Amino acid sequence: MEIETKAVHAGYSPDPTTNAVAVPIYQTTAYAFDDTQHGADLFNLAVLGNIYTRIMNPTNDVLEQRVAAMEGGVAGLALASGQAATTYAIQTITEAGDNFISMSTLYGGTYNLFAHTFPQMGIEARFADPENSTKWRR
């Protein structure tokens, strides 16, 4: 499938009831559970399904699948901002006591996140001059 086709069709099939091809916009914040066990299974990640729209939403799911398909990935995550994406990415690969290397020339909010917020969580950013790659090894 060409990237243009993936951009338009990946992650969604026409609605089986209406045959509509446009992705519906689900304007909800919460989802019903079949029963307490179903809710427990969802929160334990034992089954796939929607729990709360901030962490999963059928509309966002189509976007995430489309971007993943276009990029050749297996999954994606749509977030509200680039800063949220940066935070999630670093928190996914680090934990308290870890450090990572970053270039020193960053957007101000990202620099603040790396230099001030992450250290409060025990994660250290080590800054290096992007113009002098030999210093990165140290």
pLDDT digits (tens, 9 = 90+) for 84-109: 999 999 999 999 999 999 988 898 89
Mean pLDDT check: name the lowest of 47-56, 80-89, 92-101, 122-131.
Answer: 47-56
Which token pair is 122?
A: 């025990």
Residue 138 pLDDT class (50, 70, 90 cuts) = low
| C-alpha separations of 52 from 31, 39, 91, 98, 106 in Å | 6, 11, 21, 31, 33
- Residue ranges of alpha helices (H) inside the chain are 3-9, 36-43, 58-71, 82-93, 108-112, 118-120
pLDDT for the residue 17: 86
The DSSP bridge partners found for residue 103 are: 128
CA distance 10 to 50: 20
Burial class, 54, CB count within 10 angstroms (exposed 0-12 / middle 13-18 / buried 19+): exposed
Q: Give yes or no for residue 119 having a pLDDT over 70.
A: yes
Model pLDDT for residues 5-29, shown as the tens digit of each residue: 888 888 888 888 888 888 889 888 8
Is residue 15 within 8 Å of residue 26, measured between CB atoms? no
Chain mean pLDDT for the chain: 90
Mean pLDDT of 36-51: 93
